[in-house]
Structure formats: C-alpha cells, structure tokens
Amino acid sequence: MFLGKKVHALILAGGEGKRLGSEIPKQFLKLKDRTILEWAIMPFEKSENVDEIVVVVNKRFLDFAKELLGIKKYRKLKSITCGGKTRQESSKLGLDTISEEDGIVLIHDAVRPFVFKEDIENLLSALRVFKAVTLSTPVKETVALVSERESFVVEDIPPRERLFTINTPQGFYISLIKEAHRRAVDDGFFDAPDDCSLILKYFKEEKVHLIPGTPINVKITYPIDLKIAEVLLSEKAFGGTKA
C-alpha cells in the first residue's frame, strides 16, 4: 500500500527476443541461478509497498512461465496472463486483470533485471505529486535526428541537456493509464513504445515526471547486453548478489 492505495506491479514479458538470436525469449534465459524474468520480479516481490504482481507473457510460453514461477511460489504473484501482438496491447491486457481503478500500477519490462528497492521507492514518492512517472537516465552521447526523406542524413542535433532515455518501471494512477489505453483502442492506435507516451498523447494536461535512475538499469536486447548483465551480477559489481 502507498498513500492508502493498493500498489500493483505489471511485468511485461511478452516479447519474443528475436534480436538476441536465442531459441527462447530472452526473459527466460538464465543469469547465474535465475532467469532474467525472475530477477525482474524480485524487487517488486520484496518491496514493502507492492501488494500484487501480474506477469504478462507470450501465449506460446504461458505454461512454461506458470511452471517456472510456480516453483518459486512468489507470495505476491496474482496472475500470469497472455499478452498481445505489441507491447501496448500486452500492457492493456495486463491492466485488464486489475479490477480496481483507485490504485497505483508500476509497469516494468521483464528484460530489465537491475531495478532496486530505491528505484521503486523514488517512483512511489513522486506519485505523491504526479500521476505519471518514469525512471530515466541522461543521454551521454550526442544524438542526431535524421531526415525522414533521406536515409542517414542528419537533420538536427538536439542539445544533450534536454535528452533522457526512458526506462522502466513507470508508475501511474491506474484510472489514468487505463483511460489512456481505452482512448488508444478507440483511436485504433496500438503501437506506442511505452505507457508514458499514451499519457502524453491523450492527456496533454498531465505532466510525466522523470525520476533519476541508474545506468545499470539496462534493457537486455542484444547478446552483448547479456554479457554486460553477467558482469554486473558478478561478485565485484554487487557484493556477491543482488538478491
């Protein structure tokens, strides 16, 4: 509970992981003694403020996920449900399993295994003021905006000071993010890159607030990311274990 509201964690694990080139989705690959998905669930399971966890998976791996997570007997795991064709659809289907409107939801990518207790606490603290928040990190490299008309032709180079990468978890008042998804369905819009973009699209009066995250909150996408994650989980990086 937080601010007298029930807190739900929605873990999106519906991706197929094609860019990693593995036979199974990357969220089911092992990092040390646990799958990436299990590392992603753990901070929410341990958080004193999180009440329930919902995991969304590709329907082809529903039975596999139920067997995997059932063995560990996560106390807060409410349900494991099937996702859709896009991240946005999977997020909505996960939200549909949450019946209440007066609560808080933290939406997280299952392929980000390095979220900490402090990240969750900082997100919830910001929800005292804002209805939509997200972890983020400043962009370190110079970023080019390319032309829509000519491939690989630089059109602009925005100032780095105004550029941030958007990470997860992202936190919302449930009523707000559910309504944003409903409006997107009514519009026939199904390909938002994340949930915050739906707030910006349908609730321009609401401010999406950035919460400073850590550079190690990496999203595992390519084989090199898996190697980096293994190093981060080493004894030197985490003092033995992240658990």
Three-state SS across the chain? CECCEEEEEEEEECCCCHHHCCCCCHHHCEECCEEHHHHHHHHHHHCCCCCEEEEEECHHHHHHHHHHHHHHCCCCEEEEEECCCCHHHHHHHHHHCCCCCCEEEEEEECCCCCCCHHHHHHHHHHCCCCCEEEEEEECCCCCCEECCCCCCCEEECCCHHHCEEEEEEEEEEHHHHHHHHHHHHHHCCCCCCCCHHHHHHHCCCCCEEEEECCCCCCCCCCHHHHHHHHHHCCHHHHCCCCC
| Structure confidence at residue 234 (pLDDT) | 81
In a domain, 123, yes or no: yes
In a domain, 199, yes or no: yes
Domain harbouring 136, CATH code: 3.90.550.10
Q: Residue 181's pLDDT band (boundaries 50, 70, 90)?
A: very high
Report, as an integer, the average pLDDT of 37-59. Answer: 97
In a domain, 11, yes or no: yes
In a domain, 1, yes or no: no
Identify which has the larger pLDDT, 162 or 242: 162
Residue-wise pLDDT for 81-120, tens only, equals: 999 999 999 999 999 999 999 999 999 999 999 999 999 9
In a domain, 38, yes or no: yes
In a domain, 147, yes or no: yes
Number of domains in the chain: 1
Full domain range(s) for residue 77:
6-237
Q: Kindly report the pTM of this predicted structure.
A: 0.94
In a domain, 243, yes or no: no
Does residue 241 carry a pLDDT above 70?
Answer: no
| Structure confidence at residue 240 (pLDDT) | 42
In a domain, 48, yes or no: yes
